[in-house]
Each structure stands twice: as C-alpha cells, then as structure tokens.
C-alpha cells in the first residue's frame, strides 16, 4: 500500500493498482436511526458543499475525529446529541458495512436509538447549522418525497436505515 496524497481530512492510497480514499482524522463513521417515545424519527438537514445542496440525513458523523480512541457507540451518542440535541439510553448496532467499497475504506455503523429524548437544542458544532426534523413514522415516506420535490437531496443511507428499522418491527 502506498499513500499517494494526504490532506488535512482525506488521503489517497494505492493498493495493488487500486486507488482509494481514506480519512486521515477518523477510523469509521456512524449513522443513528433515532426514534422518539412519540414514534417520530429524527432527521438532519444541512448544506453539503460537495453537492452544493441541502441534504436530508440521519444524524451521523466520524468515529475518532477528536483524536481519541473512540468506539462507534460512543461516537453515535455524541453525534446524536451534537446534531439533534437528543439522547438515548442506549444504542443498538443494527449493521455495519462499507459506504462505497470501490472508492473508500470507510465503514459505517448503523445504530438504533430508541426512546430518544431532547436534552439540548442541537444544531451541530463549529458552525454546522443543522436543522432537525421530527417526522412521525407513519408519514416518513411522504415527507421524504416532499423534501425531494422541494429541491433537497436525500442521502441514500436514509433508505438503508429505514429498511433496517422495518426489519426490527
């Protein structure tokens, strides 16, 4: 394996002729499917410069980006709180896997956070300007269609998370 380039947050490596990206500041990614006691799902909306658009996502983030050997469940709780202002008593790992196996070595952990309850305002850190949406489970698909019709992009991981949530029911 050869490192071809390394920036502040991303790098490019070659392994046996295959070029791929890696994160220089984290070792995994988490996505949290948070359900409130009122059976509402929590979504985040924020502007994403690479796609030049506001994107609907589950609360998510990097594992270990604070420079400490953080485990994925701890990162999931931290990201849920930072982005939404909600906390859950525990997170349950639903699955993990590559985000884009041909492009990056990144692995995402999907967690379920049941009975999430609000403890702060959320909104992100460092100027993220995250908008939080509470959407009744019964209205999620219609709400997502409206978001898309209004010009927002939908992170496909939302649909993966909804699938894993449905499999638990």
Query: In this model, does residue 48 exceed pLDDT 90?
Result: yes
Give the list of residues 6+ apart from residue 38 with CB closer than 8 angstroms, or none.
Answer: 136
Mean per-residue pLDDT for 29-48?
97
Question: What's the confidence (pLDDT) of residue 47?
Answer: 97
CA distance 47 to 54: 4
pLDDT bucket at 65, cuts 50 / 70 / 90:
confident
pLDDT of residue 128: 86
Sequence-distant (6+) residues with CB within 8 A of 26 are 62, 63, 64, 65
14 to 2, 26, 31, 100, 113: CA distances (angstroms): 5, 19, 28, 16, 37
**Structural domains present in the chain:** 2-168 (3.90.79.10)
Over range 111-133, report the average pLDDT: 93
Rounded average pLDDT over 109-115: 97
Integer angstrom CA distances of residue 46 from 82, 122, 137, 152 = 13, 13, 21, 10
Work out the angle at residue 106's Cα, subtended by the Cα atoms of residues 69 and 55, and round it to the nearest 5 degrees. Answer: 105
Tokens of 46: 């924020």
CB 91 within 8 A of CB 32: yes
pLDDT at 66: 67
Mean pLDDT of 1-26: 94
User: Sorting pLDDT into bands at 50, 70 and 90, what band is 67?
Assistant: low
Q: Output DSSP code: residue 130.
A: P
pLDDT at 169: 63
The average confidence (pLDDT) of the chain is: 94
């Amino acid at each position: 394996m050869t490192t071809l380039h390394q920036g502040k947050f991303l790098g490019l490596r070659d392994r046996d002729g295959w070029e791929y990206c890696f994160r220089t500041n984290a070792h995994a990614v988490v996505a949290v499917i948070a359900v409130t006691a009122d059976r509402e799902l929590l979504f985040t909306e924020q502007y994403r410069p690479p796609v030049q658009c506001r994107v609907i996502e589950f609360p998510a983030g990097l594992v270990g980006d604070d420079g400490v050997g953080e485990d994925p469940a701890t990162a999931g709780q931290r990201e849920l709180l930072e982005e939404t202002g909600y906390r859950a008593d525990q997170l349950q790992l639903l699955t993990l896997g590559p985000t884009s196996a041909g492009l990056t070595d990144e692995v995402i952990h999907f967690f379920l956070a049941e009975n999430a309850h609000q403890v702060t305002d959320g909104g992100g850190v460092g100027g993220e300007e995250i908008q939080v949406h509470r959407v009744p489970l019964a209205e999620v698909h219609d709400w997502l269609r409206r978001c898309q019709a209004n010009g927002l992009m939908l992170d496909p991981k939302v649909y993966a998370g909804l699938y894993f949530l449905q499999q638990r029911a």
